[in-house]
Amino acid sequence: MVGEAVRGRFPVLASKVYVNSCSQGALSDTVRAAYEESLEGWDANGAEWGFWVERSEAARTAFAGLLSARPDDVAIQTSVSAAVSAFVSALRFDGERNRIVITDFEFPAIGQIAHAQELRGAEVVQVEATPEAVAAVVDERTALVCATFVSYRTGAVHEVEAIYAIAREHGALMLVDGYQGIGALPLDVARAGDVVVGGTVKYLLASAGLAFMALRPGLVEELVPTQTGWFADEDIFEMQIERYRPHRSARRFDAGTPPVPNIYAGVAGVGLILEAGVPEIQRHVAGLVERLLAGLEELGASVAAPPRGPLVCVRSTDAPALVAALAAEDVVASERDSNLRVSLHLYNTEGDIDAVLAALARRPELLA
Ligand SMILES: Cc1ncc(COP(=O)(O)O)c(C=O)c1O
């Protein structure tokens, strides 16, 4: 179910035009109830850490279902930053293969973590987010290629599968940041990269403090992270302090006490997405984007990149002022890089698009 049929589950939509899922998905009754359930469990059970393990497994199973991955190949973390830091801690950059290739549209988390590896011998090369530009710099010296699925700055959907083919050809690993697309656009994880990361704040409709990392089957055995925690041990319940004994599965990339309340919310959010179905959400959102683009053209507005996903970035003469002008009309949007970001999801409707367009039409001087 998408559009009008699900709007009732998102109370904020009664008073706002919410086109800000690229920042944070709207709060649903289901996710609110999940948080309440976590608090009730706290009262009822106290700190039952065996139960935290169970919750962590529930999150792993939910993400695995969403990504068509095996739970054993999915790690649970509290942010993409933490997941990627754990991942790169398992790589070595002190030999011939020390290059990390990043694209111009990485989120700061990825770019900054890549540069942090310079302290461990890595050389970071930044290129345009196209297969051609990546092909020009990837060779036997490349350890890792990082690419982002959907740009948080332009809304462009990048050709991650083609970039992955280039990385593979040269024996490099590939990391895909799927945060800005997963939940609204299908991503074939197996074809996208060796490692795919994302989190629950945006199109997965939950809160901060929960992220996942899906690894290609078989990869985990090759990687031993040095950034670790006790939930990454082969047997957490043994509580041993004699040795480092990473779990045989992707759990070796987990960390410490899992973010239990966020897991309740995350599992509920992913549940809403699976209930609606990602292909159905994609179809619904594509229709809305088409309507938005037609209206923008009539207004003489331009977009930063041809949108093939849920995020449309509208060029503005003063993006913060435009966001404020829209907020004054109860339209919730955001901005980056002189662009207004309008992002659409399962709960948006043609009415939302028309409201955004009407608000923009009242501020032509803020459109570039
Ligand atoms: C593409 C992308 N990656 C990563 C993040 C967030 O990373 P973290 O979970 O480390 O805060 C965001 C959030 O805005 C994002 O848009």
The CB of 148 under 6 Å from ligand 1? The reply is yes
Supply the pLDDT for residue 44: 85
> Residue 67 pLDDT more than 80?
yes
d(CA 135, CA 139): 8
Q: State the DSSP string of 294-329.
A: HHHHHHT--BSS---SSEEEEEBSSHHHHHHHHHHT
pLDDT digits (tens, 9 = 90+) for 269-278: 999 999 999 9
Q: Tokens 């990454």 belong to which residue? A: 232
Pocket probe for ligand 1: among 107, 157, 262, the residue whose CB has the most ligand atoms within 8 Å is 107
Residue 177 CA, distance from chain mean position: 6
The CB of 109 under 6 Å from ligand 1? The reply is yes
Q: Tokens 């047997």 belong to which residue? A: 235
> Residue 46 pLDDT more than 80?
no
Q: 172 to each of 111, 163, 167, 175, how far by Cα in Å?
A: 17, 11, 5, 10
Is the pTM higher than 0.85?
Answer: yes
Supply the pLDDT for residue 64: 98
> Residue 52 pLDDT more than 90?
no
Ligand 1 atom with the shortest distance to the CA of 152: 16
Pocket probe for ligand 1: among 24, 150, 177, the residue whose CB has the most ligand atoms within 8 Å is 177
Q: Which residues contact 310 (CB under 8 A, 6 or more apart)?
A: 21, 22, 150, 155, 181, 184, 185, 203, 285, 289, 343, 344, 345
Enclosing H/E stretch for 198? strand 195-199
Taking residue 25's Cβ as centre, other Cβ atoms within 10 Å add up to: 28
Q: pLDDT confidence of 53, banded at 50, 70, 90?
A: confident
d(CA 179, CA 149): 8
* Percent of the residues in the chain that have a pLDDT greater than 90, as a whole number: 95
* Percent of the residues in the chain that have a pLDDT greater than 70, as a whole number: 100
Q: What is the mean pLDDT of the chain?
A: 97
The CB of 199 under 6 Å from ligand 1? The reply is yes
Pocket probe for ligand 1: among 22, 152, 212, 343, the residue whose CB has the most ligand atoms within 8 Å is 152
The CB of 105 under 6 Å from ligand 1? The reply is no
